[in-house]
Amino acid sequence: MKLLHLSLLAFAFAAPNALALSSDTEQPVYIDSDSQQLDMKSNKVTFEGDVKLKQGSININADKIIVTRNASSGEIEAIQGFGKPALFSQLTDDGKTLSGQAFELNYQLSTDKLIMTKEAQLSQDGNLIRGSKITYQISSQKLVADSDKNERVSTVLQPAQVNK
């Protein structure tokens, strides 16, 4: 696998003050779907059929979402989304929208990390990163993009816009 750390720097320079909306993780999680299945032993709830998840400004749209809760505290530990592709979006504190998509999303709430795999891409303000896997630390806005053997990480950076 090849790592592209230049993409991390590119996003940092492109949006230096853009951090994920800080109040998102303190908000309740709302989920709409065609069906849901609860497995009380594994503390997992599976939502299927045009699933829409919202937590603050975070939105995930997928064909299937699995929510895993901590058995003792009841807190949500992880949200996995599957789709063709599954979509992710979030507002940043400066009002910009960060958008991503992949066939698989794995959002780890305790570490505030989003791992996107299989044709992953993340974009903001016309800047775009594509790779087989993108790991995004939401709160600190740090990103690592990986490629498979037969693919490369692709990055598009827009020129800085002049303030009017």
How do the domains of the chain map onto residue ranges? 26-156
CA 88 to chain centre: 5
Helix (H) or strand (E) holding 12: helix 6-14
Per-residue pLDDT tens for 39-56? 988 999 999 999 999 988
For position 91, what pLDDT does the model report?
83
Binned at pLDDT 50, 70 and 90, residue 21 comes out as low
Contacts (Cβ under 8 Å, ≥6 apart) of 56 = 21, 23, 24, 25, 26, 27
Domain 26-156 coded CATH 3.40.50.720: no
pTM: 0.78
Give the separation between CA 29 and CA 43, rounded to whole angstroms: 16
Per-residue pLDDT tens for 97-121? 889 999 999 989 888 888 999 999 9
